[in-house]
A and B are shown apart, each in its own frame.
Chain A
């Protein structure tokens, strides 16, 4: 196969391969490009099992408009083919679904937090929402130790403690480890906010426009370096 392809065409394969990698990384990055609420951090963490068909709920109040993502920590996820975890964003009463997402055994998950994305809610500021997490399985023999878990924080971070509807659950005044995130309207606006966040607590020569210039120069020159190397290697001489 390799013998049949002239060397001068190798560069097209290399660039195709590179573009594929960059596309995947870029797509993942854009999926995470929301502006999370940073007004609180998590302290002591605990976990709570999600029993099959017994939802866990957490009510929270949005601090900004354009709520479009919830970052949440789900653990011990060993889903079988027909299993799923459903994340629902509901109204304050928890009875009307605004957005929904399923996590299955083929879902591509994100580092640290899972990210529940949905179309931005333009008038979310000050409104209360209810996050509902339900585990569905057809496996009747599944052990408790294999149930998925949510991560909990011992503080009361939201307007009410989280609730687990499973039988004999001892209610505790703790919250889900989750963070509401917002969009500023589009990728460019979110990138601007990201630039501002990175610029904070940095010296003048590393922030704002210098930072943007640094980023663009680095990306451009890296591409040129790759172009140089690949073109060089694809030459016959």
Chain B
């Protein structure tokens, strides 16, 4: 009997299957706990999905005003050009009162049926937008094309069924991301046990959990980055293989089709290809000339992409025609760097634990602990790369870590460049780079983090103790976020 239990426990797929099941249940739980529209930007994302689900022939009256005359008030959902159904639901659920107001909650009725449910039987609200310009998200649209099919499939059901079903779609993208985290960790050279621990730690990161349970195009972007990361690590490990190259290409394609930030992925294909080619041959040029020519080719390719790439996404890099309050881009850049450094706390907070409309926040003490851990990990990376003579056999090779650091730097650079561009023209921080914008690199982030921490250990068993301790702390952090922050904020 004891032997058969042990046999079950050592099945290689049991651990990861259990983790994916736990993630599914955790996702459903988060889908339920966050009240309707209380995920960041959910009304406009859901409005965009409804817009994509509208019939092609719009046989209803549409009132139009000039785009220049349309100024929706951020504190009043009724001023947006959403469908009547969204506006009414937002009004009944007291959306404007609750968002950004940590002290406010819904008006709870006795029993388990809420105000929306009691109104729905008598309601015949329009599901389409009848005021233009519509309040929707512009840019790449793959996420909306897919989720609008869910909206259409449940078109005969009420808004609660449709809205929460689309949230559940995000959970499945989250499951794929966790699976990719496991596979990437394995490919990078960790053992199966370590891969399970690290992917569980990633799966329980509270902000990732929230992002994988709301209506937002961040989760498909996280999936795209994760697929890209997995494919690259596999290519670095096995050399060029069509299977992994297709995954790489697919990751980049999904990335650019769901959100502007995904633009960085096709650009990163070039240095990866250069490295893979160099592993095979340097064409008799020698190392220096090879990298010189290919770097030149890389720059030309980027220039080509910026000039001829899809407008609307590339012009942010090329268009400097906007007027500015600053005397020069350099002056604005200096000021932007100062402001960004001052806002580092906000960035950390919104990466790790600022839920809903950033109005349910974890304690500063938790953040200080995380911040100190990250500093130690950073020191470990410096130590491993520049001072440690014999690399630890239980840690990934440096090439994987260099690639992941490149991913982290590239995404940071892109988002902050975009943020600075707007700062340059408007004179104030508009986008604000909340930490969740950097969640697409969550796998790279955690692998780099554990590489840094692990570099201080010389024995695998000590590193394993660190991993299990980190796992317990992360699960504790998750439960703390759920039971001490999120549930009290919305319900107690």
Chain A interface residues (CB < 8 Å from chain B): 2, 7, 10, 14, 17-18, 21-22, 25-26, 28-29, 32-36, 38-39, 41-42, 45, 73, 110-113, 151, 177, 179, 181, 194-203, 206-208, 211, 214-215, 217-218, 221-222, 224-226, 228-233
Contacts and interface: CB of A to CB of B under 8 A. Distances in A.
Nearest to B359: A112
A28 B484 contact: yes
Contacts of B361: 111
Contact of B483 (A2, A25, A34, A198): A25
A224 B18 contact: yes
Nearest to A69: B492
A229 B22 CA distance: 13
B323 to A, nearest CB: 35
B83 interface: no
Interface of B: 9-10, 14-15, 18-19, 21-22, 25-26, 28-29, 31-33, 35-36, 93-94, 97-98, 101-117, 158, 160-161, 164-165, 193, 196-197, 200, 360-363, 461-462, 464-465, 467-469, 471-473, 475-476, 479-480, 483-485, 487-489, 491-492
Contacts of B33: 198
B182 to A, nearest CB: 13
Nearest to B164: A203
Of B465, B472, B476, chain A has the most CB atoms within 10 Å of the CB of: B472
A14 B112 contact: no
Given A198-B33, A225-B18, A225-B19, A232 B193 contact: yes
A198 B362 CA distance: 21
A131 B104 CA distance: 21
Contacts of A225: 15, 18-19, 22, 200
Contact of A202 (B14, B160, B487, B492): B160
B456 to A, nearest CB: 14
A229 B196 contact: yes
B104 A25 contact: no
Given A224-B18, A226-B475, A2 B462 contact: yes
Contact of B112 (A32, A42, A207): A207
B489 A111 contact: yes
B9 A200 contact: no
Contact of B115 (A73, A111, A201, A214): A201
Given A199-B112, A201-B114, A221 B22 contact: yes
Contact of B488 (A10, A32, A203, A206): A32
A230 B29 contact: no
A41 B112 contact: no
A233 B112 contact: no
Given A17-B472, A207-B32, 10 more contacts: A21-B475, A26-B483, A41-B94, A111-B485, A200-B108, A217-B25, A218-B22, A218-B25, A221-B18, A222-B475
A111 B488 contact: yes
B489 A206 contact: no
Contacts of B36: 201
Contact of B28 (A36, A177, A206, A221): A206
Contacts of A197: 108, 491
